[in-house]
Structure formats: C-alpha cells, structure tokens
Amino acid sequence: MNPPLKPGKVWLVGVGPGSPDLVTVRAMRALAAAEVWLVDDLIAPEMSCYASPGTHVEWVGKRGGRCSVSQERIQKLTLQHALAGRSVARVKGGDPLLFGRGGEEAAFLRGHGVAVEIVNGISSGIAAAQALGIALTHRAHCHGVTFVTGHTSAHGSPDWQALVRGGTTLVIYMGMSRLAAIRDGLLAAGMRSDMPAAVVMHAGSEQARSWTGTLGTLAEALAAGLASPAVMLVGGVVADTLQAVHAIVPDAGSLAA
C-alpha cells in the first residue's frame, strides 16, 4: 500500500484587474509553481503567459451573479486536486480578500488540512482611480474611502445614510444592474445630486472605458454603454479628474518591454 498523499498547497492568487503587467512578482511565482489552475471567468486569457508548461487549466468562473460553476463546487474541486497531492492556484481577479470570497475558500480548505497561502492583488476599485487620474483619498476632501458591494444579498442594501454621513469616497462594486436604486438610495440619504461621480468599466485592463458626471446624471453611464464589470466612484475627489485628464487611454502598453 502507498503511504497517504501529502495534500498539495493551494495559493489563492489575486492577479489584479486585468492587464498581465499588474500582476505581482509573488503572484507570478505562485502561478508558475502550481500544477493546476482553477480560473475565474473574468480573468484575461493573456494571463496564461504565467503558466508553466503542462499546467492543467480549468475555468470555473461566475459571471454577473449567474453561476456557471457554484461556489460549493469550486471549493470541492480545489480540495479534490489538493488532496490528490497537486498544487493549485485559485486564480482570481483583483484581490482575493476584497469581495473575492477568499476568506471562505481559505477557511474551507484549512478546515480540511490543506495549506493555503493568499497572494494579494490590485483591486479594480483602485485601478479605476488610476484610469481616471484621481486619488481615492485627498486631505482636502475626505478622511478615507469605502469599498462596498451594490449587489443585493440576504443582508439587503448598504446603509447609504450612514455611508453618506461618513463622508468617505464611495467605490461601489457589482452595482451596475442596480445603478438607479443606488443613485436613489444616495439621494434619499441626503447626498447632493451634483456630487461628482464616475463609472469605469474593465478598470485596469486594455479595454478600460470610463464615464464621468454627477450622482444626478449617473444613469447616463448606462446610456453611454458602460456595463458590468464596472465600478462606480462617488465623492468630491472624482471632480479632480476633470482637471487631470481629458481622455482615458489604457496605460498598460506604454511600458511594454
């Protein structure tokens, strides 16, 4: 009889918002070391440049709330590979710890005796700020920034009243399908309709597109063709984009080797 297999290691790897050059060195090494990749749907195919020859790649993503593979199934699949002794990279967009369910996946795997290492990545909200040429925080405008999901869950909407009173810049993920409700929630919470607002679609990728306006005109972003995956930014700092940039052009290629 063979001795029981030592489980393979699992890396939960954030590969950032899209451009392969926004991957960290640590993520590249994890991607190269893993024998199996389990890849989320929104990951750019170009990311495969980081796979070692012979890597087994499976796409397990979810898109816009519709699960092509359920969260449970993804976790079981990851566990199966690890228990079979294979090292696994769970390849996730952005950062696994910010709306990435990395906490749930890590807890599940650790509960089964599998070693998990989380590798941080650039989140799309911060890449959106880069695309707009603005900072998310500014001494003159606010004390900080809040990242929230606009997606309805069992726990209802964010407390817009409290968030508006808190005065931080708001970066809203997964909110495009509820854009009008979010706008109405912020207006009802007392936010001025002329508060600067922006939407960035495919932030941090070559396909980045953006719209800037105000909270009151937010629905124009939909008319302009912006859709998921996109982040909304609302707050005084967003006005700085008007002075800072005149057109949004992807920066990714400008440093290409």
Pairing between β-strand 62-63 and β-strand 66-67 as defined by DSSP bridges: antiparallel
Does residue 110 touch a copy of itself according to CB under 8 A? yes
Write out the binding residues for a copy of itself, residues 34-93 only, by CB under 8 A: none
Place of tokens 């002794």: 85
Write out the binding residues for a copy of itself, residues 23-42 only, by CB under 8 A: 23-26, 28-30, 33
DSSP annotation of 163: H
23 vs 82, which CB is nearer to a copy of itself?
23
Crossing angle of the two packed helices 71-83 and 102-111, in degrees rounded to 10: 40
220 vs 251, which CB is nearer to a copy of itself?
251
Torsion of CA 216, 217, 222, 225, to 10 degrees: -160
Does residue 113 touch a copy of itself according to CB under 8 A? no
Q: How far apart are the first and last CA of the chain?
A: 52
Number of residues in contact with a copy of itself under rule CB under 8 A: 74
To the nearest whole angstrom, how small is the minimum distance from the Cβ of residue 230 to a copy of itself? Answer: 16
1 vs 154, which CB is nearer to a copy of itself?
154
For residues 160 and 148, is the Cβ–Cβ distance under 8 A? no
DSSP annotation of 3: P
For residues 142 and 236, is the Cβ–Cβ distance under 8 A? yes
Write out the binding residues for a copy of itself, residues 135-154 only, by CB under 8 A: 135-139, 143-149, 153-154
To the nearest whole angstrom, how small is the minimum distance from the Cβ of residue 66 to a copy of itself? Answer: 17
Does residue 95 touch a copy of itself according to CB under 8 A? yes
To the nearest whole angstrom, how small is the minimum distance from the Cβ of residue 141 to a copy of itself? Answer: 9
